[in-house]
Amino acid sequence: MTQAPLQIARDEPVLFASDLHLSVQGRATVDDALEQIARHARQAAHLFLLGDLFEMWVGDDGADAMAAGFASLLTTVAKAGTRVWMMRGNRDFLLDVPVPGFDGGAFSQHCGATLLTDPFSVSLHGEATLLAHGDALCTDDLVYQQWRQTCRNPAWQQGLLARSLAERLVIGRHARESSEAGKREMAGALMDVNQGAVDAAMDGAGASLLIHGHTHRPGLHRWQHGAQSRTRVVLTDWDASADRGHLLRWENGLPRPIERLAR
């Protein structure tokens, strides 16, 4: 890990979200996410966005007006004193990856945010905690893991980013359609995390708490691993049309989901 360990004191409330899947097609979800962040971020010392912020990200040069609006809100939040952190997901694995010939700067900088490695260790209110998007833990899905290795390969990424933005948008849309088709056909269990992979990741980080998204199976799981009691918190995905999506607040060492306002 290249980043210094982050210590978050017990009196510092934290907000988590992942899998917002922001897109121009899902305007209601964008509005909902912006509203919740605007309303709650001020009371939080940290805001963690754990991947799949965007439905599709074909390079930082492809940031559209919707992405710019999101960045502008996060900048306001950061300027008001909340530290903003973001992680790449499987949809936005090209976030902050330098695009040849583009000098517009990394997207996280436009958000006043810091990009995290996946996974990332923090001390959260005194508990050794591992933050992750979650896709790397779904090790039963061998086809996906192979794709993950490919698309995280720097040489492969540079090859893709050397193509024009228009070309990458076409490729991205095509990939998205085939991935949606694949998901429908796949057995449900393959889409969840593998318990062995979870325990191995937590062993490696010395963590007793894991917070991730990706699986779209929000919940809180507790189990015993040897002498250690462990917790895994899964963040919800966001879809305003299905009334889904909320920030998770961590306060005094405990999770407290923030209810969505009825619309």
Q: Which C-beta is closer to Mn ion: that of 32 or that of 52?
A: 52
CB of 89 to Mn ion, least distance (A): 4
The contact mask relative to Mn ion for 45-84 (x = CB under 5 A, - = no) is -------x--------------------------------
Amino acid at 199: D
CB of 160 to Mn ion, least distance (A): 19
Q: State residue 255 phi and psi, 5-degree precision.
A: -80, 135
The piece of 9-17, 109-117, 208-216, 255-263 that touches Mn ion (CB under 5 A) is: 208-216
Tokens of 33: 């996410």
Q: What separation in angstroms does the CA of 146 have from each of 66, 81, 89, 134, 217?
A: 31, 40, 15, 15, 23
What is the residue-wise DSSP string for 180-232? HHHHHHS-GGGGSPPHHHHHHHHHHHT-SEEEE-SSS--EEEEEEETTEEEEE
Site for Mn ion in 209-238 (CB under 5 A): 214
Residue 170: its H or E element: helix 165-185
Which residue minimizes CB distance to Mn ion?
Answer: 214
Q: Contact between 90 and Mn ion (CB under 5 A)?
A: yes
Q: What crossing angle do the helices spanning 154-161 and 142-151 adopt, rounded to 10°? A: 70
Q: Which C-beta is closer to Mn ion: that of 125 or that of 214?
A: 214
Angle at 246 between CA 67 and CA 18, to 5 degrees: 55
The piece of 67-75, 85-93, 163-171, 187-195 that touches Mn ion (CB under 5 A) is: 85-93
CB of 117 to Mn ion, least distance (A): 16
CB of 2 to Mn ion, least distance (A): 23
Binding site for Mn ion (CB under 5 A): 52, 89-90, 214
